[in-house]
A = this chain, B = another copy of it.
Amino acid sequence: MKTSRIPTHKINELILNRWSPRALSEEKLSNEELMSLFEAARWAPSSYNNQPWRFIYATRDSQFWNTFVSLMGEFNQSWAKNAAALVVLVSKKTFDHNGEPSVTHSFDAGAAWENLAIEAASRNIVAHGMQGFDYEKARTELGIPEGYNVEIMIALGKLGNKEDLPEMLKEREAPSDRKTLDQIVMEGSFKSE
């Protein structure tokens, strides 16, 4: 992927140009492509290398597909139903080595997600994270135990054509901007915006 974003400071293009399109082609992802995305997630850092992230997925041609689609809200269904795969990302709330609660399980899962998103963008694969789904239904329908936290859903698929999106989504189909560095970086102590 390539965007017209201009960074304040020069950074890796892979990071700068990752964004979250909704336009999905109808192409499948090969198993190799899908597994490469999880492979990228796999190498993220985590507290005590606990790797709390777990990826539960369904491909469009599978018996599980309709269940995964039904978890999403109407808005996300309107475009993500065209995904090649849907993923529910959950995180283990305790450490493997001693069973104690982890304070960073969600944070660590976020790092794994970003690896997946960057790897996807570098392959012109859409990886769009979603919060607009039924967290409790996901837990019940996918049998997610209490010891795991439901984090986000992810729609995956080959990048499609913006023109094929519904009118309302067409306008929003562009890389978003960000707060300035001044707004997110503070020296010495916390400062309000």
Contacts and interface: CB of A to CB of B under 8 A. Distances in A.
Copies in the complex: 2
Contact of A11 (B39, B107, B187): B39
Interface stretch (A43-51, A69-77, A156-164): A43-51
Given A12-B118, A110-B113, A38 B104 contact: no
A35 B181 CA distance: 8
A16 interface: yes
A20 interface: yes
Interface residues of A, number: 77
A8 B117 CA distance: 18
A107 B152 contact: yes
Contact of A184 (B51, B64, B118, B185): B51
27 contacts: A8-B35, A8-B42, A9-B36, A9-B39, A11-B36, A11-B39, A11-B119, A12-B40, A14-B118, A35-B181, A38-B181, A38-B184, A49-B178, A54-B185, A54-B186, A56-B189, A56-B190, A57-B185, A57-B188, A58-B188, A103-B135, A104-B131, A104-B152, A106-B110, A107-B113, A107-B151, A107-B152
Interface of A: 5, 7-12, 14-16, 18-20, 32, 35-36, 38-45, 47-49, 51, 53-58, 62-64, 90, 103-104, 106-115, 117-119, 122, 129, 131, 135, 141-145, 148, 151-152, 176, 178-179, 181, 184-190, 192
